Homo-oligomer: A and B are copies of this chain.
Amino acid sequence: MKQLDSITPRDVDFARWYTDVVTRTGLANYSTVKGCMIMPPYGNELWENMRAELDARIKKVGAKNVTLPLLIPESMLQREKDHIDGFAPEVLWITHSGEEKLAERLCLRPTSEVLFCEYFKNTIQSYRDLPMKLNQWANIFRAEKNTRPFLRTTEFFWQEGHTLHETEAEARKMTMQIQNLYNDYLRDFLALPLVEGRKTESEKFAGAVETYTREVMMYDGQALQTGTSHYLGTGFAKAFGITYQNREGREALPHYTSWGITTRMIGALVMVHGDDRGLVLPPHVAPIQAAIIPIMMHKQGILDAAKKLEKSIAKVVRTHVDASDNTPGWKYSEWEMRGVPVRIEYGPRDIENGTCVVVRRDTGEKAVVAVTNLKKELPKILQTIHDSMYSKALARQESMTYDARTLDEITEIAKTKPGFIRAPWCGCAKAEKLLKEKFATTSRCIVDEFKQNTDIKCAISGEPAKYMVIWGKAY
Contact = CB atoms under 8 A, between A and B. Distances in A.
Interface stretch (A96-104, A207-215, A363-371, A441-449): A96-104
Interface residues of A, number: 55
Interface string A353-391: 000000000000000000000000000000000000000
A170 interface: no
A12 interface: no
A64 B44 contact: yes
A94 B91 contact: no
A96 B157 CA distance: 21
A67 interface: yes
B92 A64 contact: no
B33 A47 contact: no
A64 B45 contact: yes
Interface stretch (A69-77, A399-407, A416-424, A429-437): A69-77
Given A39-B67, A134-B41, A94 B97 contact: no
Given A71-B33, A118-B31, A66 B41 contact: yes
A90 B96 contact: no
A29 interface: yes
Interface string A65-90: 11111111100100000000000111
A101 to B, nearest CB: 10
Contacts of A48: 65
A141 to B, nearest CB: 8
Contact of A32 (B90, B96, B118): B118
Interface string A280-301: 0000000000000000000000
A38 interface: yes
B29 A122 contact: yes
Interface string A27-57: 0010111101111110111011000000000
Contact of A33 (B67, B73, B122): B73
Nearest to A64: B41
Contacts of A94: 92-95, 108
Q: Which 7 A-B pairs have the closest CB atoms?
A: A36-B69, A41-B64, A39-B67, A97-B143, A93-B96, A89-B98, A33-B69
Given A32-B118, A67-B157, A93-B97, 6 more contacts: A31-B115, A33-B72, A34-B73, A44-B67, A70-B155, A139-B139
